Amino acid sequence: MYPILEFDPDRKAFVEPSDIADPLDVSEHCIICFFGEVIEKVVSEHKAEVLTHNRWEDGPHPLYEIEYSGRRLAFFHPGVGAPLSSGILEEVIAFGCRKFIAIGGCGVLERDMEVGKLIVVSSAVRDEGVSYHYLPPAREVEAQPDVVSKVEGVLKDRGIPFILGKTWTTDAPYRETRSRIDARRGEGCIAVEMEAAAMMSVAEFRKVAFGQILYAGDDLSGDDWDNRGWQSRGDVRDRLFWLAADACLRL
Q: What is the pLDDT of residues 167-181, one digit of tens each?
A: 999 999 999 999 999
So what's the pLDDT on residue 39? 98
Is the pLDDT confidence value at 230 over 90?
no
> Confidence class of residue 234 from pLDDT cuts 50, 70 and 90?
confident
CA end-to-end distance (rounded Å), the chain? 40
pLDDT, tens digit, for every residue of 45-99? Answer: 999 999 999 999 999 999 999 999 999 999 999 999 999 999 999 999 999 999 9
Q: Where are the domains of the chain?
A: 17-248
So what's the pLDDT on residue 211? 98
So what's the pLDDT on residue 239? 95
Is the pLDDT confidence value at 113 over 90?
yes
Instruction: Name the residue among 114, 125, 127, 200 with its Cα closest to residue 163.
Output: 114
Question: What's domain 17-248's superfamily in CATH?
Answer: Nucleoside phosphorylase domain (3.40.50.1580)
> Confidence class of residue 233 from pLDDT cuts 50, 70 and 90?
confident
Here the contacts of 235-242 (C-beta below 8 Å, separation 24 or greater) are 236/115, 236/116, 237/35, 237/37, 237/38, 237/105, 238/38, 238/41, 240/35, 240/38, 240/103, 240/118, 240/213, 240/215, 241/31, 241/33, 241/35, 241/38, 241/42, 241/75, 241/103
Global pTM reads 0.96
